[in-house]
Amino acid sequence: MAKSPRVIVAGGGPVGLYTAHALAKANIDYVLLEQQPEIVRYKGAGIVLLPQTARLCDQLGILKQMQEPATRLHSKTNSLYNGQQLVDFRLFEPMEEDHGYPTLGLSRSEMIEILYKTLPERETRVKTNARVIEIESNANGVRVYLADGSVEEGSLVIGVDGAHSRTRDIMDRLIRESTEGVANREPYPMVTYFKAIFGRAPVPKGVDIGRFYEAHGNGVASQTVPGKKYAYFSILRKLPTPTTARHRYSEKELEEEVKSFADLHLFPNITFGEIWKTVKRDEVSLVHLEEGIIDKWHHGRIVLLGDSVHKMTPISGMGVNTGMQSAAVLVNQLQNMISSGSEFTTEALNEAFESYQKIQEPVCRMTVMQGEMMTRMVTWNTWTAWLFDRFIVPWMDLEGQVKKQFSPIISNTFVLDYVPFEGKAGQVPWVNGPKVKV
């Protein structure tokens, strides 16, 4: 009798935890490995969940829990570095009208906490302090070696371990060592053009809760979302020279970066310098922002998801949203193998992985490209970007553009094929729904 499939998920961020939920719903055995000592921790950023992601949460039955700490976003204000307003328009309300689901702003830690606490059998399924150091893959399965000396065995590995993915590094090495390998294959195709400060502060008086604030400038941009208790901010700056090297910023470098942005208006009438007085220093980070998308998403019994495949700056807000879509598509392929009675052979898995990449790669490449364009426009990378952002965008029908550009993309997104639910709908019908009826 064939051995029951077991999936090893490397990475306990939002996309990794959603993948665990999807596997649990498919009754597929799995273990999730997180290299940090705890799953729920606060450091840094807020997350914007678009309607298609709210729909995925609704299918899992956890949308209500997500909405409790979250803020329903409605509009957006673009302004200049000095606070001068450029344009104000309804951005998120038209999406909700079209698709039936709100856009939610919450912290990354809140989202992780909800995904973790609602995960069935989490105490036995999730392992912390589990840093992957090596993966062996053969015709019968995989062995994942951890830094503590333990070994996890399974049928496949899903690498959801971020832009500096250890799983991807190992997979790239295995590709180079295989017959299909190329000696000069680029092992790390993502490039850093920007760095960013991420943090939160108590919501100041006089700001509009649920409004998305974005400030533009020469080589810099900021985004701030005021929620029920905290305002989550990110401030980008273009690097003097692009790099593929990793860099951990020191406290001194963070302090210098903060001082340089004292006059930046996070809100039209409030500067970052004023906000900084209320910030807890251990809740702020300065990091590199990698950008790019890899060409090979899988090899043998290893497959990649999320930031390990495609990485964007936060300007487009598509990182987690795109990653969760990819997770739904991938687990749909695995569940289809189970339901059809297919064994998890290397050949069958390769076919499933190829189908996953074929479905998601076009939309992911488009999303990465759009993110690159948006980031360079709001940071005025060229004089034409400055001209367009300053003097053309304010005169455009931005609400109409939202409906025209985003509605087709959102309506064509996926859910889990095998989990029945009614869901919500708006003026634009969803193209894809579950393949099983309620």
Annotated domain spans of the chain = 6-42+49-72+98-188+294-411
CA distance 432 to 438: 15
pLDDT of the residue at 160: 97
223 is catalytic: yes
Summarize the confidence of residues 425-438 as an average pLDDT: 91
C-alpha torsion 61→364→183→350, nearest 10: 50
Position 219 confidence tier, pLDDT thresholds 50, 70, 90: very high
Position 1 confidence tier, pLDDT thresholds 50, 70, 90: very low
Overall fold of domain 6-42+49-72+98-188+294-411: FAD/NAD(P)-binding domain (3.50.50)
pLDDT of the residue at 178: 80
Position 337 confidence tier, pLDDT thresholds 50, 70, 90: very high
Residue located via tokens 């919450």: 106
Tell me: pLDDT of 50 over 60.
yes
Tell me: pLDDT of 214 over 60.
yes
C-alpha torsion 54→56→60→64, nearest 10: 0
Position 188 confidence tier, pLDDT thresholds 50, 70, 90: low
pLDDT of the residue at 185: 55
- Determine contact, residues 75/88, Cβ cutoff 8 Å: yes
CA distances (Å), 166 to each of 58, 160, 302, 413, in order?
Answer: 32, 10, 12, 29
C-alpha torsion 420→426→432→437, nearest 10: 20
pLDDT of the residue at 42: 65
Kindly name the residue from 223, 333, 335, 357 that is annotated as catalytic. 223
Quick one: tokens of 303?
A: 């497959």
CA distance 132 to 150: 10
Residue % of the chain over a pLDDT of 70:
97
Position 98 confidence tier, pLDDT thresholds 50, 70, 90: very high
Residue 226 amino acid letter: P
Tell me: pLDDT of 2 over 60.
no
432 CB-side CA count, 13 A: 20
